[in-house]
Structure 1
C-alpha cells in the first residue's frame, strides 16, 4: 500500500490520467448497462429505440461535463474551451462537425425517423438507425426491380441533409401514386373495358383510398398545396397500334409491387371472361398489299 502511495506522489500526473480513464469507463459502463436494461424491459420497438438513443445523448452530455470539470476545475470556462476547440478543428474536421450538426437537425426538424423510406444522395432505402454521425438504411432498388430490398445496409453521413434534397416516401402521407398502361385492341368494347378496369381498381384499392383521404386532408391543411384525386383514375390515349389505358391510383408506399401484381392479375381474369369483347393488344404488322411479281420463263438465261 505504501508503495502505491509513493508511486502516486512521485507521478501525480499519471495517477490523474488513470482516475480520468476510470471515470470515463464507468460512465460508458452505465450507458451500456442502461441500454441493455431498456432493451429487455421495453417491448415496443419505437419506444425502446428512442429510449436507448436518449440514454446515449444524456451519457455523452455527462461525459462532456466531466471532461470540462476534470481538466478545468470549473464549468465557467466552457464557452472559451468550446470556442478554441471549434476554431482549431473547424477546417480539419468540417465533415464530422457537419455530420453532427446534421444529426441534430434531423432530430429537431424530424426530416426523417427510423422506419421512414427515403431517397438521399441518389440512395433509396428504409431508415433503420440514425446516430450522431451516420444514417443507416436498408437499401432498395438498384439491380432489383421495383421497391425490393437488395440486402445491402448503407451508412450515409448525416451531412448530406444539407447538401441536397431528401425524398421522404412516408412522412405525413405514407402513400404514393403509381400507374401502369394497358393496351386494348381497336374494335374492342371500350366502355366495357373502362368499366372492368375502374371497378377492379376501386374494389382492390378501397382500403388504401379510404385511409389516404383523411391523411391527405391533413397534408392539405398543413402545407400550401392544392387538393388531389386519391380515387383511381383512368386516361385513354389513341396510338397507332392500340388504345392505351393509363390507370393511376394510390397505394401504400411499401406495397407498390404487390398491389400492381394483384391489379394486373384481376384485370386479366375479368377481360378473359368477356369472350373476346375486350382483347388485350400486342405489337402487330398489317400487310396491306403484296406487290406483283412478273416472271418470264421463256427468256433464256445467259450463262
Structure 2
C-alpha cells in the first residue's frame, strides 16, 4: 500500500488527475444531496422542478470554474470565473428571484391582498392566496359572461407585478362605474321616460351612492384625482331608429351583474305600466314606397 502511495506521489500528473476526479465526485455528490433535499421540502411541483434544474446548472458551472482554476492556477482567471458563475446563477434563477422579489413588493407596497379582485397579465379574478412564488386566483370571465366565476383556479408568478399593469377593482375604493343603454321609441313621452329611469336608479342605488361618497372623499385626499359624480346620471342621444337613454351609475364591484338585472327589470315594469305613453324601441324597417306589381294573365 505504501509502495502505491509513493508511486502516486512520485507521478505529479497522476496525482493531479486523481485529486481532480475526487473534486468532481464531491461536487456531483453535493448536487444530488441538494436535489433530494429540495424534492422533500418543496411541495409545489413547478417550483421544485425549477429549483432542481437550477441546482444542476449551478453545479455544472461550478465544475467548469473549478476545472479552469485547477488546471491554470491563475488567481485572476479564478476571479473572472467567479464573476461568470455569479452571472450564471442570476440568469438561471431570474424567474425564481423575480417571483420572490415580487412577493416582497406585493406585501410591502400592498399592491393587492387575498380577497381583492384584480386583473393581471390578461387574467381577471379574485385573489385567494399569495405565497412567496405564486399568486392564486379564482378566475372570472372567459367563457362565462359578466363577472361570474369560470371555476378555474389560476396560479400566476409574482414576477408579473414587474412586467405590466395591475388592475385592482377593490383596493381603497370597492366601487366601479357601470352603464347600459335603453332604446325609447320616437313619439313616446320622453320627459316621463326620463323621470322613470332616474327615479328607479336613484332609489335602487341609494346605498351604493351614499357609501361611495364617503370613500371617494378619501380617494381625493389620498391621490391626485378630481372629484367625481357618484349619483346616477342619464344622457340622451338621438339616433336614426330611437331615442337612446344611457344610464351611468356606481355599484359595488361584486354586485355589478345583479344590480344591472334589477335596474333593467324595474325599468321594464315601470314602462309597461305607462299604458303606451313610453315604449321601448326595436330595430324596424320603414317602407317608403310599395313597388307596383303588374300581372298579365292570359288564357
TM-score w.r.t. length of structure 1: 0.70
Unaligned runs of 5+ in 2: 1-29, 42-82
Q: Give the secondary-structure state (helix, strand or coil) at the position aligned to 1:170.
A: coil
| 2:241 is the alignment partner of 1:241 | yes
TM-superposition CA deviations, 1:51-82 (whole Å, max 9, x none): xxxxxxxxxxxxxxxxxxxxxxxxxxxxxxxx
Residues 5-84 of structure 1: matches in 2 within 5 Å?
A: none
User: Which residue of the partner structure matches residue 188 of structure 1?
Assistant: 188
TM-superposition CA deviations, 1:28-51 (whole Å, max 9, x none): 9xxxxxxxxxxxxxxxxxxxxxxx
- Post-superposition, which runs of at least 4 consecutive aligned residues in structure 1 deviate over 4 A? 83-88
For 1:249 and 1:148, how far apart are their aligned partners in 2? Answer: 20
User: Which residue of the partner structure matches residue 5 of structure 2?
Assistant: none
User: Which residue of the partner structure matches residue 174 of structure 1?
Assistant: 174
Query: What is the root-mean-square deviation in Å for CA atoms of aligned residues?
Result: 2.4
Deviation at 1:291, TM superposition (A): 1.8
User: Which residue of the partner structure matches residue 11 of structure 1?
Assistant: none
Q: Give the secondary-structure state (helix, strand or coil) at the position aligned to 1:247.
A: strand
Pair 1:230–1:123, CA change in 2 (3 A)? same
For 1:86 and 1:278, how far apart are their aligned partners in 2? Answer: 75
Deviation at 1:294, TM superposition (A): 3.0
Unaligned runs of 5+ in 1: 1-16, 29-82
Deviation at 1:111, TM superposition (A): 0.3
Deviation at 1:227, TM superposition (A): 1.0
For 1:233 and 1:104, how far apart are their aligned partners in 2? Answer: 42
Q: How many residues align?
A: 224
For 1:204 and 1:296, how far apart are their aligned partners in 2? Answer: 65
User: Which residue of the partner structure matches residue 121 of structure 1?
Assistant: 121
Q: Give the secondary-structure state (helix, strand or coil) at the position aligned to 2:127.
A: strand
Q: Give the secondary-structure state (helix, strand or coil) at the position aligned to 1:159.
A: helix
Deviation at 1:87, TM superposition (A): 4.7
Q: Give the secondary-structure state (helix, strand or coil) at the position aligned to 1:97.
A: helix
| 2:136 is the alignment partner of 1:136 | yes
Q: Give the secondary-structure state (helix, strand or coil) at the position aligned to 1:126.
A: strand
Residues 260-299 of structure 1: matches in 2 within 5 Å?
A: 260-297=260-297
